[in-house]
Structure 1
Amino acid sequence: MIKRLTSVVKNNLSALQQKGSFTRNLAITLSGSTLSTLIGILLTPVVSRIYSPIAYGQFAVYNALVSNLNLLTTLSYPGAFLLPRRRLHFLALVQLTLLVTLSSCIMLTIGLGFAGPWIVKQLHVEGLGNWFYTLPLMLLMFNINGGLSLWYMRDKQFGKRVGVEIATNMATKGFTVGYGLLIQGNVVGLLLADFFNRLSATIMLALGSIRQEFKSVLRTFSWRRLWLIAYRYRKFPLIYMPGGYVYVASTQLPVFLLAPVFGAASVGLYSFSMSLLEMPVNVLGAAIVPVYMQKATETYRETPERLPSITLSLYYKLLYIGVVPFSIVTVYGDVLFRVVFGAKWEMAGVFTGYLGFYSLFKLLSLGTSGIYNIMERQKYYLYANMLLLAIRAVGLGIGVSTHNLDLTLLLFGAGSLLATFAVDLHVLYLLKLPVVRIALRTLFLIGATVLLVKLSRWGFTPLFPKFLAVTPRP
């Protein structure tokens, strides 16, 4: 046993020292993402005491618009950046993405000139004022930033992405706190901080090593090649984009539906809850997905029989990493939010109890969601997201019709969990893995863990009633 453990350690150390290896790339991205997220966690209690739930709610609506328009204004062509074998074809994809993005943002600017005031009124974001009209510029930076990140991923330059992520996250959090204190927690502080983040990240990525190829993007431009590449990867705008848009729309449904019925504060509480739940998902996603997608794409081309074992291994590792933290947040969410972020955010902690395990299954999907793309089964991606949208819409509809905010988010979380788990199992089925056994193992581990955590709260409540007792609802 000791010899085997020593051998594993030696192999991992050797892989860490090997430039370009999967282990080394994963270590670089994981360490950077962890540090970046840790900065965010440490400063979040400060930010939560500066900005109100209403400010968070209005900013969430603005961000939801950016997320919804991202796929439409790129036609999802960046999703194909990892696929071309020839460099010339990849550069043509970059050219195509830039043209589509610029054209879309220009049309959006014209559209806001005509319909902007009406949109602001319908979305209840009057607090943003004229800053709402920065949407096309924010979207342009969002799209370019995403494309540059994928370019570095394709070239296996993970260290550059990590450095940019850490630097911009530190600067953004500092700006959010400083400017928020100056303007007394106005929503504009959150918007400008996000704007500053995307601008600085885009500039830093553009000034990296890939800047040497910018001339090649211009020099190799060919309308004929552009049309050929657009046709070659037509599944992305025709199938992958609708699937991605349906997913984003289903994710943002609460943002657009809660405000008219329950007010902007409810959107802020929901958004704050999800932002905290997604921190571990984002840190592992930023660390694992770029490396895994590059490795999985390469494996599927050269040794496709190894792809199932790689995917299942990652799935279980994510399950073991996430099951305990998400169980604790789900059971103790109201207490944690009240103590750490202040009493005004306690309801956001209650919402984590409804949404926590959905976030766990979202974490697990980091190891499966890219398979549809790699295997060029984009139609299943569309079907999966249509299922997710339908289940979420039904749950939200029932909750909103009863004017019960708790029931609304409970049904949203439960429906999201079931749909996400079903899609994960379908991906594993496509890889010819034993899905029934995997499902039972997953549910048993989660059930046993949450039961133990729940028992701990029941046991500790008599000892610490001031902190652990449930606060009466008005």
Structure 2
Amino acid sequence: MISVFARVRDRAHALSKSRFVRNVAAVAMGTAAAQAISLLFMPFLTRLYGPEAFGALSAFTAMVNIITPLATLGYANAIVMPETEEGATAVARLSLVCAALVAPLALVLVFFFQSELAVWTGLEATPDFLYLIPVSLLLGALLSVANQTAIREGLFKAKAGSQVVSTLVMNIGKLAGGVLVPSGLLLIVLSIVGKALNYSMLLARVPRRGTFQVRRWFGVSGIRTAAREQRDFALYRMPQTVIGAASFGLPVILLTTLFGSSTSGQYAISTMILGAPIMLLGQSVSEVFFPRATETIRKDHSAAAPLLKRATAVMTLLAIVPFGVVAILGDVIIPSVLGGEWQRAGEFAQWIAIWMASVLITRPAVAAMAVLQMQGVLLCYEVFITAARVVALYFGATIGNDLTAVAAFSLVNVAGYLFLLALVLGRATTVSREGRRA
């Protein structure tokens, strides 16, 4: 028994010295603090803003999230890939040049399709606020470049700190605004302000050296070479990210169209609350796991499968308890915390919890797909699963009601993620086998 405790102690000590573990902890703690702030404010905000207000915010956000990957054509995610500092800076320049071209195009689209977009987002009364979409795209591109640069430079604490501060300030603004003039428009404006704060806080916390010499982000030097070398991100990662965002945003837009903004607000709150563990652990592990997996597999192909299996096992253990509790008692827990007006959100949460568990479990697999050269597979998967999600949502709405639609949508997601996990594990096993033979 003593020897067992000694081994556990030695293992814990070794883990505490691990750079990977420290990086995951830094990102996780920052994300946890930001999510904790949002969740602490939530019971107050849901009593100030009704489901309609959150429905307008969620529909606007869904639309922006669908377009945002187009702003940088997916190149921002490639900043961690180049081996040289100049190569990474060129990718940053390329990302911002793309954003400078896409934002005016978005402005034109808003001008010509303002009425249709207003209906989809529930902003018929104030359609001019749709002109904030190009502003949000530009800020999102800057923040994406800054975040990916911080990941490349290993500045995880600075990234986490900026996220915490900006989240706190934004939620204080929501609370103050909710007391004075609660509306969906205010939530939309504050969400955009939050991006600007996050970007500003991050730049204030990082040393202006290396790839973080911001003045070098602007220009056109080296962008052709960067576009050619990282073309997989534009050809595969960007389309699959857009399709993925569309498939997740579609329920909000379709629920708004079919059942009204109140229903989409109930759905949005459920996904927001249950998405907190995803942000806490899933995103944190992905951001650290991606560069580590890239480096490890480049050096030793045989390590691909063991690395991925360990990460997946850990994510599975972490997903069981929180999502299991919500799947069983969500209809009691959610309205008791948020208020009686949010009963439907609790019923939605019981189905969404199963879906979110599958998202968390497959995060390491999705993060490893780039280095396993499965970008094309991921794109095909996103096309297929998006079609399946739309069919499931409409089928559920046709045979039942909004709850049936959300349940069908969630179950299709679970099946899709488990299928994707099997594909990636199979590919990693093949790479490891080839590595051992080499």
SS at match of 2:81: coil
Residue 264 in 1 paired to residue 261 in 2?
yes
> 1:359/1:15 Cα in 2 relative to 1: closer, same or farther (>3 Å)?
closer
Residue 151 in 1 paired to residue 166 in 2?
no
Tell me the equivalent position of 2:49.
51
Quote the offset at 1:342 in angstroms.
0.8
Please say if residues 335 and 341 of structure 2, whose CA atoms lie closer than 8 Å, have aligned partners that are also in contact: yes
Please say if residues 85 and 211 of structure 2, whose CA atoms lie closer than 8 Å, have aligned partners that are also in contact: no
Tell me the equivalent position of 2:117.
119
* Structure 1 residue corresponding to 2:363, chosen from 361, 366, 369: 366
SS at match of 1:126: coil
Tell me the equivalent position of 1:89.
87
Quote the offset at 1:224 in angstroms.
6.9
Residue 196 in 1 paired to residue 193 in 2?
yes
> 1:14/1:58 Cα in 2 relative to 1: closer, same or farther (>3 Å)?
same
Distance in 2 between residues matched to 1:114 and 1:153, nearest whole Å: 38
What does the per-residue CA deviation read over 1:97-149, in whole Å, with 9 as the maximum and x for residues that have no partner? Answer: 01001111122223323432442135432255533211111111112111111
* Structure 1 residue corresponding to 2:31, chosen from 29, 33, 48: 33
Residue 64 in 1 paired to residue 62 in 2?
yes
Larger radius of gyration: 1
Distance in 1 between residues matched to 2:398 and 2:337, nearest whole Å: 33
Please say if residues 97 and 220 of structure 2, whose CA atoms lie closer than 8 Å, have aligned partners that are also in contact: no
Moved more, 282-291 or 317-326: 282-291
TM-score, normalisation: structure 2:
0.93
Please say if residues 38 and 171 of structure 2, whose CA atoms lie closer than 8 Å, have aligned partners that are also in contact: yes
Letter of the 1:283 partner, please give it.
L
Residue 332 in 1 paired to residue 313 in 2?
no
Tell me the equivalent position of 1:352.
349
Distance in 2 between residues matched to 1:97 and 1:219, nearest whole Å: 12
Letter of the 2:187 partner, please give it.
L
> 1:144/1:335 Cα in 2 relative to 1: closer, same or farther (>3 Å)?
same
Distance in 1 between residues matched to 2:161 and 2:387, nearest whole Å: 39
Tell me the equivalent position of 1:9.
9
For 1:179-194, list aligned pairs within 5 A. 179-183=177-181, 185-194=182-191
Quote the offset at 1:217 in angstroms.
6.4
Tell me the equivalent position of 1:441.
none
Distance in 2 between residues matched to 1:269 and 1:215, nearest whole Å: 40
Residue 212 in 1 paired to residue 209 in 2?
yes
Please say if residues 94 and 217 of structure 1, whose CA atoms lie closer than 8 Å, have aligned partners that are also in contact: no
Count of matched residue positions in the alignment of Structure 1 and Structure 2? 430
Quote the offset at 1:216 in angstroms.
5.7
> 1:429/1:127 Cα in 2 relative to 1: closer, same or farther (>3 Å)?
farther
What does the per-residue CA deviation read over 1:422-447, in whole Å, with 9 as the maximum and x for residues that have no partner? Answer: 101111111118xxxxxxxxxxxxxx
Residue 411 in 1 paired to residue 408 in 2?
yes
Moved more, 330-339 or 185-194: 185-194
For 1:65-464, list aligned pairs within 5 A. 65-183=63-181, 185-213=182-210, 225-402=222-399, 404-432=401-429
Please say if residues 278 and 359 of structure 1, whose CA atoms lie closer than 8 Å, have aligned partners that are also in contact: yes
SS at match of 1:374: coil
TM-score, normalisation: structure 1:
0.86
Q: CA RMSD in A?
A: 2.1
Distance in 1 between residues matched to 2:400 and 2:238, nearest whole Å: 33
Distance in 2 between residues matched to 1:201 and 1:91, nearest whole Å: 21
Distance in 2 between residues matched to 1:161 and 1:296, nearest whole Å: 20
Distance in 2 between residues matched to 1:140 and 1:249, nearest whole Å: 19
What does the per-residue CA deviation read over 1:354-387, in whole Å, with 9 as the maximum and x for residues that have no partner? Answer: 2211100001111110121122221011111122
Please say if residues 327 and 349 of structure 2, whose CA atoms lie closer than 8 Å, have aligned partners that are also in contact: yes
Tell me the equivalent position of 2:436.
none
Please say if residues 400 and 408 of structure 1, whose CA atoms lie closer than 8 Å, have aligned partners that are also in contact: yes
Quote the offset at 1:338 in angstroms.
1.8
Moved more, 126-135 or 64-73: 126-135
> 1:197/1:407 Cα in 2 relative to 1: closer, same or farther (>3 Å)?
same
Identity over aligned pairs, percent: 23
Quote the offset at 1:420 in angstroms.
1.0
Tell me the equivalent position of 2:434.
none
> 1:128/1:341 Cα in 2 relative to 1: closer, same or farther (>3 Å)?
farther
